[in-house]
Amino acid sequence: MNIVWLRRDLRVDDNSALLEAAKGNNPVVAVYIATPLTWQEHDLAPIQADFIYRRLFELQKDLAALHIPLLYFEVDTFTESADKVVELAQALKSEGVFINKEYELNETRRDDYLDRRLNSLDKTLHRFDDKCIFPPGSVVNKQGAYFKVFTPFKKAYLSKLSQFPVHPKKAAQLACKADLGEYEGHVLTADSPFSYPRVSSERYPVETKAIYDRLRAFNDEMVERYKEERDFPAVDGTSGLSPYLTIGALSVRQCMARVLYQQSLPLSLGRETWQSELIWREFYQHLTYFEPKLSMGKSFLPWGQALVWQGDEKRIKAWKEGKTGYPIVDAAMKQLNQTGWMHNRLRMIVASFLIKDLQVDWRVGEAYFMSKLIDGDYASNNGGWQWCASTGCDGQPYFRIFNPTTQGERFDPKGDFVRYWIPELASVPDKHIHQPWKYSNVNALSYSAPIVDHKAQREITLANYKNAKDAMNAS
């Protein structure tokens, strides 16, 4: 008998650990273990917890069709979850435990601990690089070192992709079902304990067919317009697939295969742009693997540690609540707070505003996003925030500071997105929608005045960054 421990890989098709465990037609038991205390420490968003919870019931059906039962447990921490897997391996007389790797520091430590415990019992932990198409260490420069800049990483990645095309694999039904013995009562039911707070994720379907249909529909109907439309938040121009990639209901191989399906090279601009976004996800996963300090709240660039942050709690609260007085920032934050998702262009705008208009430590924003996002993935979230903070690998230069007014005017020119999320600005004409403080009837609006002056804050930020870099160079 083999055990498959599922974590961020909540699917049956194209699941490396599951497929390997089922080779030879051995009976297989799948297990999922909730860890609310560790989730709390990791700022897991309640909407993502609900998304996982709902997906587990669909996953259970998919596994049952393969004659694989799904056991469910709840413990407090990662360490206890590893202990539970060891307990199962002993009780079920499992020959091996199969897992797909996660690259964050706490996750790798958990799996190393599991490996040691199983090894002491003469049992084997089988680990697979399933989260990426190409595992960390397989896309490197001529010196054998990992890439620190995205563009050459992408070039090497695509070269490798041309040599090793992706072929997602489907799972097959096993000949017999495993005997659960004393654990028969631990199959997932509506009464199973799931004590982590949940916020409804119902707007995201969790049935496997619906997920596949969404992937196909995007690639059949929308991807060709992706490059032109993806930056405009009032337009439905993105794939909406990031939540499924985050919890592993879809694999990146499945997405890449669909992008390339029956396509000749070079790809269209829309397909190439979406493919680049998939490769960005891989890039950040590789960075997380090679740089454990990223999982410890440290800047990728050493001088980032010398930055001086203001930490004004009133301003932070205004940013979180969407009350900064800058319409595009406030509309974006309201979208996040009410839906658990934010348009990618807006993620950059609000991050830049928090860091470079309010001089707030990027880690504050990073944690808040994780606590709200249905698609909160540590590597991508950290990479995005450090990019905006100019402290990360391949981050924007520190002197590039988004102007929230001009960003709004460029990407929401008619104010459609702003008016949807901030109805109190509905009567403001297009000319002033991103600068309502210039509107003649501004006093009749129940909308905040700007909490800072962007031009003045920009100068403060430039000085702060220059001082940090100079201090590091001097030392």
The per-residue DSSP string of 293-319 comes to GGGGT--SSGGGGG------HHHHHHH
Output DSSP code: residue 187.
B
Annotated binding site for FAD: 226, 238-242, 274, 277-284, 375-377
The confidence score (pLDDT) of residue 338 equals 98
Q: Mean pLDDT of all residues in the chain?
A: 96
Residues 137, 451: Cα–Cα separation, whole Å: 46
Percent of the chain with pLDDT over 70: 100
- 280 has catalytic annotation: yes
Element (H, E) at 72: strand 70-74
The confidence score (pLDDT) of residue 384 equals 96
Q: E-strand spans in 89-145? A: 96-100, 124-128
Domain boundaries, the chain: 2-130, 208-290, 302-474
The confidence score (pLDDT) of residue 120 equals 97
Per annotation, catalytic residue among 26, 309, 337, 403: 309
- 319 has catalytic annotation: no
Average pLDDT score over residue span 453-464? 97
- List Cα–Cα distances, 248 to 132, 251, 276, 383, in angstroms: 11, 6, 19, 19
Per annotation, catalytic residue among 26, 106, 337, 344: 344
Residue 396 has pLDDT above 80, yes or no: no
The confidence score (pLDDT) of residue 442 equals 81
Average pLDDT score over residue span 123-130? 97
Token pair recorded at residue 31: 């297990």
- Fold for the domain defined by 302-474: DNA Cyclobutane Dipyrimidine Photolyase, subunit A; domain 3 (1.10.579)
The confidence score (pLDDT) of residue 293 equals 97
pLDDT band at 25 (very low <50, low <70, confident <90, very high): confident
Per annotation, catalytic residue among 280, 303, 319, 387: 280
- 441 has catalytic annotation: no
- 277 has catalytic annotation: yes
Annotated binding site: 226, 238-242, 274, 277-284, 375-377
pLDDT band at 394 (very low <50, low <70, confident <90, very high): confident
Q: Which of 382-386, 391-395, 406-410 has the least mean pLDDT? A: 391-395
Using one digit for the tens of pLDDT, what is the confidence trace for 328-354?
A: 999 999 999 999 999 999 999 999 999
Residues 151, 147: Cα–Cα separation, whole Å: 9
pLDDT band at 386 (very low <50, low <70, confident <90, very high): very high
Per annotation, catalytic residue among 303, 319, 341, 362: 362
**This prediction's pTM:** 0.96
pLDDT band at 24 (very low <50, low <70, confident <90, very high): confident
The confidence score (pLDDT) of residue 443 equals 82
- 344 has catalytic annotation: yes
b/e 98-131 (16+ beta carbons within 10 angstroms → b) = bbbbbbbbbbbebbeebbebbeeeebebbbbbbb
Per annotation, catalytic residue among 385, 387, 421, 464: 385
- Fold for the domain defined by 2-130: Rossmann fold (3.40.50)
Per annotation, catalytic residue among 95, 277, 291, 409: 277
What lies within 8 Å, CB to CB, of 394 at 6+ separation is 148, 149, 150, 283, 387
Q: For the structural domain made of 208-290, what CATH number should be given?
A: 1.25.40.80
The confidence score (pLDDT) of residue 172 equals 92
Average pLDDT score over residue span 63-88? 98
The confidence score (pLDDT) of residue 395 equals 73
Integer-rounded Cα radius of gyration of the chain: 24
Residue 265 has pLDDT above 90, yes or no: no
Residues 104, 290: Cα–Cα separation, whole Å: 10
Residue 257 has pLDDT above 80, yes or no: yes
- Angle 286-287-292 from CA coordinates, rounded to 5°: 115
The confidence score (pLDDT) of residue 463 equals 96
Average pLDDT score over residue span 218-238? 96
- Compute how many other C-beta atoms are within 10 angstroms of the C-beta atom of residue 51: 27
The confidence score (pLDDT) of residue 359 equals 97
Residue 475 has pLDDT above 80, yes or no: no
- 224 has catalytic annotation: no
